[in-house]
A and B are shown apart, each in its own frame.
Chain A
Amino acid sequence: MILSELSAEEVRRRLHCPGLVIRTGPFNFRIRSTIESVAQGLELLYPDYQLVEDGQFVDFTVTLAHSGGLRRWWRPQVRFVYDGESPFAVLPLDHAFPLMEWAMNWCISTQAHHYLTLHAAVVEREGCAVIMPAPPGSGKSTLCAGLVSRGWRLLSDELTLISLADGLISPLGRPISLKNQSLVVIRKFVPDACLNQVTHDTSKGSVSHMRVPTEHLQGIEERARPRWVIFPKYVPLAKAELAPRSKANSMLELGRNSFNYTVHGLTGFELLSDLITVSDCYDFRYSQLEEAVSVFDQLAVKERG
């Protein structure tokens, strides 16, 4: 059963108690909240996601609760509760849906140590994955959304999950986070993109999330092998261009962008080294999204031979 098969009333009933249990990639999340924007966001962005049957194992329970006391009514706030603790500072109530997304990422990045997890977007074409680590402002999410809208399959826009057993990458397939100028760019590039309401004044600025194309969810079990590591950088007026990048330097940068490389010790080192060995590494500058997508398409054509 998928979420869209539930009535609006049933979605809210389950969110209230005992929690709406939904599968996202390899993880089962239980979401609990009485906050309306959370329900609306889930209905809009997760309609085609599988619900999890009663009795199946739940990896993480994410609760988004109203703050107590006066704050329930005066400048109301939301807090994320996990295992009885609130790991994050409280936020304004209208930040509830982005908080849910950040909380889900936090659960995976801090606890799913059966993967080597990178802070990087990853998309796939014909079984080959492009890993794109990048700091804020690099245009990674805009590029990711653009690629996903032009035939590349989304594995994740934030967390690259690398299997410790065989080095393959598992899809997470959750909505793509967009902020500030990237919202403007993607609305133009993908006029029929389904975007959630924009949340303003977050610490990242104005943020929204883009729904993942349904066909990407149908292949949610299909893993991909790493083939390229590309460090994107949005540079105004720049021609879209790949420049070969040092493998050793790329490896260290992936380590820096990993949530748990240091947890895994030698295993993490061997895994990342193997990944770098099989991947071509590049810096990528771009300013026009269409041109950028074309460069990536050329990579896939060349790989096909």
Chain B
Amino acid sequence: MSENSATPSPKAEDKGVTLSADALARRSLLLKGLGRGSAVLAATVPLQTLAGQSLLTFDGKHQCSVSGMHSGVHSATPSNTPTCGGYSPGWWGQSQTVDGKIVPRRTWPIDYRTKCDTIFTRCTLLNSNGTRPSLFQIMSDSRFASSDEFHWVAAYLNALSHSFNFPYTAQEVVDFYNSPSYADALAFFKTFMENHT
């Protein structure tokens, strides 16, 4: 069936929908109570999810959060709890040539040409020609490999791509960048969230 077909879809009971009559009635009430109009479209936010279970860092020793890393005590033994992690900056920075242009080899969750300082507004890094580097240039150009932004951008991309139970949203990564917790958060991302190469 094409996306634009006018043929009605099968009814709920034919499609295995298992909501009880009571639940269907409650859904109808919720749908009736919705806000209306263009204001609804203006107030869109990306879907955010809180995991259904606790996560640990890849070594099993710390809770998967900036504060968990900084607990006063460290676990003595690892456990079977699922772990979190992320792709390394080097993974994000892999490149290929397409139509004579150097572009990311990986699928990026954001336009790779986005300028770094539009996201990380305190970034003062410059390309050799004096221009402002893009996120992809930060990831792929070796001149930036020792910068903090090299890791912040990786954390941001990991957050956007929801890879490996990454524990923070992209906005939270930016908030950490702009907060007094900058150093703690950077240490957490570098130490625990770049384990997939």
Interface residues of A (CB under 8 A from B): 80, 86-89, 91, 98-99, 102-103, 106, 119, 135-139, 202-204, 207, 233-235, 249, 252, 255-256, 261-262
Contact = CB atoms under 8 A, between A and B. Distances in A.
A99 B73 contact: yes
Nearest to A249: B48
Given A99-B73, A262-B53, 8 more contacts: A87-B75, A91-B73, A99-B72, A106-B73, A135-B66, A136-B67, A203-B74, A256-B65
Nearest to B67: A135
Contacts of B100: none
Given A255-B50, A262-B52, A88 B74 contact: yes
Given A119-B67, A138-B181, A89 B74 contact: yes
Contacts of A103: 73
24 contacts: A80-B73, A87-B76, A88-B75, A88-B76, A89-B76, A91-B73, A102-B72, A102-B73, A135-B65, A135-B181, A135-B184, A136-B66, A136-B70, A137-B179, A138-B180, A203-B71, A204-B72, A234-B180, A235-B180, A249-B48, A252-B50, A261-B50, A262-B51, A262-B54
Contacts of B75: 87-89
Contact of A252 (B48, B73, B76, B167): B48
Nearest to A233: B179
A88 B75 CA distance: 5
Interface of B: 48, 50-54, 65-67, 70-76, 167, 179-181, 184
A154 B74 CA distance: 27
A13 to B, nearest CB: 28
A102 to B, nearest CB: 5
A45 to B, nearest CB: 17
A202 B73 CA distance: 9
B62 to A, nearest CB: 11
A88 B54 contact: no
Nearest to A88: B73
Contact of A136 (B51, B54, B184): B184
Contacts of A233: 179-180
Contacts of A99: 72-73
Contacts of B167: 256
Contacts of A80: 73
Contacts of A262: 51-54
Contacts of A86: 76
Contacts of B52: 262
A261 B50 CA distance: 10
Nearest to A256: B50
Contact of A203 (B54, B66, B70, B180): B70
A282 to B, nearest CB: 15
A88 B50 CA distance: 27
B107 to A, nearest CB: 27
A80 B70 CA distance: 18
A193 to B, nearest CB: 21
A103 B54 CA distance: 20
Contacts of A261: 50
Contacts of B67: 119, 135-136
A136 B70 CA distance: 8
B139 to A, nearest CB: 26
A207 B76 contact: no
B81 to A, nearest CB: 11
A201 to B, nearest CB: 12
A207 B66 CA distance: 19
Q: Which 10 A-B pairs have the closest CB atoms?
A: A88-B73, A137-B181, A135-B67, A102-B72, A255-B50, A137-B180, A89-B74, A136-B70, A252-B50, A262-B53
A113 B66 CA distance: 24
B73 to A, nearest CB: 4
B131 to A, nearest CB: 32
A136 B67 CA distance: 6
Given A119-B67, A137-B179, A262-B53, A203 B72 contact: yes
